[in-house]
Every structure is written in structure tokens, then in C-alpha cells.
Amino acid sequence: MADEIGSGRGVLEEWNDERGFGFIVPADGGSRVFVHVSAFPRGRRPVAGSEVSYAEGRDERGRRRADRVAVVGARRSGAPHPRGTVPALAVVGVLVVVLAILTQRGDLHALVPIVYAVMSLATFATYGADKAAARAGRWRTPESTLHAMALLGGWPGALVARRLHRHKTRKQPFVTVLWLTVVVNCAAVGWLALGKPLP
């Protein structure tokens, strides 16, 4: 029997149907929470990707464990992408087209698209590493670092990584600052393309 220490919400990221257990990734970060099939309502088959609420406790060995789990957002079967991935890819696609046109016209230096590509790949990888660290309860990448990378041209990678990794999607202050970095970065590129200060 687990000693209850609080409650939480998260996503059932992994589920082993044969063995009847899985792991929940808490919405507020931290290490994964073990969950047994007995914690779910009777007759409800757990599905990986479902959003759940739960009472958190510790088992006899002091490990985090979820009890009284309730599914609050079931994943739609056959959905090919996490919600928001397609719009994120669309924004990145528009950026690629705009950069190609401006570079072709000579309004931007050819290094600008390269900087975007390198920073986006680096930012995407950093988000993935931070998500893995959150699951394992290891040292996390500071949010200021993630924002700095986005500001320096890595925001396309950040937008895609947030959706594919389901990371940093609910923390509103973080999302607000991220979009501010997008605006500032695009304004800087616009200034470079126009060759004159923006009003």
C-alpha cells in the first residue's frame, strides 16, 4: 500500500499491457511516476498518450507511485501527430520559404539560413535532452538557456520539439516568453532584410 503524499497530472507515456504497468510523466516535471493497472478504474484499459490525474504516493521502497488514476484526456486513436505539431511545422515551412526568397533576392546573407538550421537542430536536441532529464529526475537545462537558443535562431526547432516531445507545452509563462523570442528574432531578421532600422 502506498503512502499518499499529494496529487498530480501528467501523461501516461509508457504502458506495458502484458505486464500491467507503466509510467506517467508529470506535467510539472520531475521523475516518472510508476503506475499499476490496479490504480485505474475497473474496466478501463490504459492507453499510452492519455492525459491523467492521480494521487501520488510512495511504495514500500520509497519510489513514486500513482494511485486512484483518472483519465482526463484520452488520446484519439489513429492521430498521426501530437496536437499542435502540424501548425508548428507549417510555421517552420513558411519561415523556410521566406528565408529562401530573401536570400535569393540578396536581401539576406547566405549564412542566415545556415544559422537558423544549426540553431534549430541544436535547440531541438536540447529540448529532447531536457525531457529525458525530467523523466529521470536529473539536472535540467535552465529555461533561460532554452530561450536564449530560441532567440538566436533556434525557435523553429523549439516549436517542433515542444510538440513532438510534449515538453514545455502547458507552462504558460514559458510559452509567452518563447513567442516573444520568436517576435524579436523575426524583427531582427526583418531589420537585416530591409537594411534600415525598424520604426
Domains of the chain: 3-73 (2.40.50.140), 85-194 (no CATH)
CA distance 118 to 12: 32
pLDDT at 196 (0 to 100): 52
Environment class of 49 (CB within 10 Å of its CB; exposed 0-12, middle 13-18, buried 19+): middle
pLDDT at 78 (0 to 100): 43
pLDDT at 80 (0 to 100): 45
Cell numbers linked to 10: 501528467
pTM of the predicted structure, to 2 decimals: 0.57
Q: What is the pLDDT along the chain (199 residues), one digit of tens a residue?
A: 445 567 888 999 888 877 888 999 988 777 889 999 888 887 667 888 888 999 988 877 778 899 999 888 655 444 444 455 567 778 888 999 999 999 998 889 999 999 999 999 999 999 989 888 776 667 888 999 999 999 999 999 999 988 787 766 666 788 899 999 999 999 999 988 887 544 4
pLDDT at 192 (0 to 100): 87
pLDDT at 75 (0 to 100): 52
